[in-house]
Amino acid sequence: MTTYFIIVFFIFGTVFGSFFNVVGLRVPKGILFRSDRSYCPTCNEQLRAFELIPIVSYIFQKGKCRHCKSHISFIYPFIELSTGLLFAYAFIHFGFTLELITAILFISMLMILFVTDISYMLIPNKILLFFSPFLLVMRIISPLEPWYDMLIGASVGFVVLSAIILVSKGGMGGGDMKLFVVLGIVLGWKATLFTLFLAALLGTVIGGVIMLIQKADRKQPIPFGPYIITAALLSYFYGEQIISMYLSLF
């Protein structure tokens, strides 16, 4: 029975992931509700029903548009697969608990932000404003330990990120700051600081490797959002264990 639900959560995740791609690409352009059908961004050909099947359609079309043969961004199947795996993992981790709802909401928000940040280097207010009331209510129903950790977390997120923005002058923006306030509510203050530390570490290591590979575009800005999002998910599921493991070293 558990296996059945894991598969259900995975499939739902891939379908939602496909929707998050659309939301992430359209919300910053303000055209979310212009057309309810998906289309190829290169030739504007409307996609047929079978081309909308997550992951599978990408594999069968070998990553190309059926109509104009232009390459379909790898980000689409990546988000579909990641959302599927994360939904399934959230169910394995939490089972049918209230925290599962928080996890699904949190993953959904972060997957959409992954798309907007990688496509437009943007963390849109609309997405944060949509999810934060739900996450806030979930943190009241399914609180952290102690319950007011969400308030400390939000404050720490606000203060630390504001300080970084002031000092770095352009390294991070207001979108990152608002995201960290929401992360603070969900994660509490320790895991929020850990997210920042881990994001900086991932950004330095992976960003460094990317810079080495594409030596020519050294000036091209690299979106930092994907590192924050990866770090936030690791902190959400494993933060407590990693922090206590680290503290036990002293």
User: Which residues, 188 to 207, sit near Zn ion by CB under 5 A?
Assistant: none
Q: Return the CA Rg of the chain.
A: 19
Task: Quote the least distance from Cβ 43 to Zn ion, whole Å.
Answer: 3
Neighbour count for residue 86 (Cβ, 10 Å) = 24
Output the CA torsion sign for 151, 160, 115, 242. Answer: negative
Using CB atoms within 10 A of its CB, is residue 30 exposed (0-12), middle (13-18) or buried (19+)? exposed
Nearer to Zn ion, 65 or 198 (CB): 65
Cis peptide before 28 (omega within 30 of 0): no
Tokens linked to 6: 């894991």
- How far apart (Å, rounded) are the C-alpha atoms in residues 61 and 72? 9
Based on the shown chain and the rule CB under 5 A, indicate whether residue 68 belongs to the binding site for Zn ion.
yes
Q: Which two tokens stand for residue 167?
A: 């000092």
Q: Which stretch binds Zn ion (CB under 5 A): 27-35, 62-70, 146-154, 194-202?
A: 62-70
Distances (CA, A) of 103 to 109, 115, 201, 232, 234: 10, 19, 24, 12, 12
Is 105 an interacting residue with respect to Zn ion (CB under 5 A)? no
Q: Does 67 bind Zn ion (CB under 5 A)?
A: yes
Window 17-46: contact mask with Zn ion (x via CB under 5 A): -----------------------x-xx---
Q: Which is nearer to Zn ion, 26 or 67 (CB)?
A: 67
Selected range binding Zn ion among 60-68, 104-112, 216-224, 242-250, rule: CB under 5 A: 60-68
Q: Cβ closer to Zn ion: 8 or 59?
A: 59
Comparing CB distances to Zn ion, the nearer of 67 and 93 is 67
Applying CB under 5 A, among 27, 65, 86, 150 the residue interacting with Zn ion is 65
Q: Which is nearer to Zn ion, 26 or 126 (CB)?
A: 26
Q: How many amino acids of this chain bind Zn ion (CB under 5 A)?
A: 6
Calpha distance 156→181 (Å, rounded): 8
What's the closest the beta carbon of residue 41 comes to Zn ion, in angstroms? 8
Q: Which stretch binds Zn ion (CB under 5 A): 65-73, 111-119, 156-164, 203-211?
A: 65-73
Q: Are 47 and 38 in contact (CB under 8 A)?
A: yes
CA angle 131, 187, 145 (to 5 degrees): 120
Which of 65, 110 has the CB closer to Zn ion?
A: 65
List residues binding Zn ion (CB under 5 A): 40, 42-43, 65, 67-68
